[in-house]
Structure 1
Amino acid sequence: MKYRFLHELAAAGQQQAKTISQIMLEEEIAESGQTEEHIFGQMADYYQIMKDAVNKGLTTNTQSKSGLTGGDAQRVQAFSANHEPSSGEPASTAMAYALAVSEVNASMGRIIATPTAGSCGIIPGVFVSAQERFGWSDEHMVRGLFCAGAIGYVIANNSFISGAEGGCQAEVGSAIGMAAGAMVELRGGTVDQAVHAVGLALKNSLGLICDPVGGLVEIPCIVRNGFGAVTALAAADMALAGVRSIIPSDEVINVMLEVGSAMPSKHRETAQGGLAQTPTGRKIMENLKKRK
């Protein structure tokens, strides 16, 4: 994609009266040489996998091979069905759906890494719950994925999306930003608002470490996906309300690079620090080694 920065995407959108998804789709057609029908169809297939993962996580046994996780999505869904969620029904549903996909990943199920397997639940959680709530078509949702992809492309090329490089801020944080910006577009917001949503979302996850217990993408990764979906909805609402990221979103991405580069290796997916090295975290690791 020829647009390296979010401000370039915003300017192009304003000048050409196009959405970020339209720009991204056109760029993909030009770069790949494939037809719009082929590229759109491929993305539609990805979205179907996301929806299937949500359904699987809510209706089947998702206990991981480690035995550490599984079933939390169904617990949240059951609670929401029988009680008034403190966060409200839309947020609770997005959270349950995000947990569902992340649990499918942990149990060796099929997911789409958006942008990584460790953050795979956030975009599906936001997208599928919003589609059900607003009655949007699959085509509308697929266009949202192109918007999310453009945002992810900019983040990846200016900072990180890998927890091993930049901590969980790079994985879960990037996914939150992608989902927030896309949600603004899906709801009819401006390109400028979508870009501000990214900055608002990323600022709230700066410094988040990657500290997987036992080196597995389970604890605390799964619950962070649930929280991430809720944060994405909040960032989108702020942007749609007119709240702006006073620090431009491109500068926030640069800060993510700075913070991630300064982060100790023990906090970058090595399981040598953070929650992984708590007394309980070490005990879980010891038990896993014995099982092996």
Structure 2
Amino acid sequence: MPSFVRLRKFLRAYGRAMAQPVIPVVWLVTSIFGIVASPFGTEHFPLTGRVAFWPITIGLGVLAGGLLRVVVRDCWGLRSFWPEAPLIAVLATLGLTPLFIGLARAVAGPAQHVPSIPAMTGYIFIMSIITSTLRHAVAATWPVVPESEPVPESERVPGSEPVPGSGAGAAPSVPAPPDRDAAARLMARLSPELRAPLIRLQMRDHYVEVFTEAGSETVLLRMADAICAAEGVAGLQVHRSHWVARQAIRGVIRAQGKVSLALQDGTQVPVSRGNAPAVLALGLKEMPPQADNGPQAPQAMVAR
């Protein structure tokens, strides 16, 4: 994938992470709490120092935390609490400690009651772990939109004709022309610029990464719920972690006793042994084995 495409995808992911309405509320509430309660030794700062220190440090922490989450989760694919939370905490501690120490020295006043470097390091690491713990706890209990919930007309997308979809592991017999209305409930969860014909779904812990012809985005859904939300798009679940749209399949690859599918976006998706007979029965075009260094092959070929 060209570097500018990766950069654009990264910036979009970071923009979505920072565009959540709750972020300015959290920043304001925690800033006021820091100024009033003055934790972590900042009670020795003058009032003007606290008014400067807490909003700035919390703002930097929010910006850095969002950036690190995108890097660790979307770029490195680490979405489980371990090792995601400790890794983000370590990176945040290394990057923010010098900044926060410098700011504390600038606003501490004549008495210079500045937390030591070990103390500041501990504060940042602990706060990062607490934030990640709360985020994962909320993610694990986040309600899933019921299947019967209607999708607003304004959120419907143009694209592929409703075709009876296959169940998990069953293969559709006749491909049908795409109709994007078929996946409207799933598309409603994506950013508007990513609402395009569906290519595949990939499970990642409590999340599902949705790949369309316009890009990809991670949504908080179980794999089974994501497949139900895409009902009407002809497709098949080829692995417990992978579902593919029928129209996106270019061919089948058999190598070293393993079966995989080559898709139109250049990815290569593994087929589990239990689903291999149904996939081979489709009579797909046989393709030669591909190197695993394609645009997304290392990520797509992970068998969970």
Q: TM-score when scaled to structure 1?
A: 0.25
Normalized per residue, the structure richer in helix is: 1
Higher strand share: 2
Kindly name which structure, 1 or 2, has the bigger radius of gyration based on alpha carbons: 2
